[in-house]
Amino acid sequence: MLVHLLRHGEPEGGARHWGETDVALSPNGWEQMRAAVAGRSWDLIVSSPLRRCASFADALARELPARFRCDSDLREMSFGAWEGRSAAELMEMDPEGLRLFWSDPSVHTPPGGESLERLRSRVMSAWQRLVTDPDKRLLIVTHCGPIRLLRAVQSRTPLASLLSIEVPYAALIGIECLPDGSFAPDPLTSTSMHPKESR
């Protein structure tokens, strides 16, 4: 079964650690996502409930048409005290914390934020719920963190290296999974992403 993952486009306010902050897509973000899905169709679209994912996912489902629902386990990880801050702002506020997070996010969690283990637990729970029907064409609309997590599990990349996985705005990624929901072998081939790109 081939499952497609779609990251949201550019949000209003640009690249910041938005996390669970519910910002809308910018006009450019809408265009990026429309270009990514042009000419494609799905039977079921499941989205993060945050507007930068759900607004587009709902509109796309109505146009196709396709079934649509939200799953709160697909939301972005919480950045705690870093929510809404740019990398430049965090370099002023908490340079050591940011350096540690970039070096190993599996150990160093943003202050008051969500751990990668917690992110992994809920994202994988959502995945197992969603990939039970091999006959449906499934699109998951979500964020950089959950997509990186799924790509890391698929490629057996350690969570310590999660920030090396490239997921640009409106990236559409296909993942093959087996009938039991496990990932078909598919080594990670994406190039390294600069860790300053926020989610």
Distance of CA 21 to the CA centre of its chain: 14
Q: What angle do CA 14, 23, 93 make, to 5 degrees?
A: 60
Rg of the chain on CA atoms, in Å: 16
Determine whether 76 is an active site residue: yes
Residue of 8, 17, 108, 143 with catalytic role: 8
Q: Classify strands 44-47 and 67-70 as parallel, antiparallel or unpaired.
A: parallel
Report the interhelical angle of 144-155 vs 116-130 (nearest 10°). 80
Cβ–Cβ < 8 Å for 72, 22: no
- Neighbouring CB atoms inside 10 A of 75's CB total 26
Q: Please report, for residues 11, 120, 159, 161, 177, the alpha-carbon distance to residue 106 in angstroms, rounded to integers and kept in the order given.
A: 26, 10, 6, 8, 25
Judge whether 8 counts as a catalytic residue.
Answer: yes
Q: Which of 76, 108, 114, 143 is catalytic?
A: 76
Which of the residues are catalytic? 8, 76
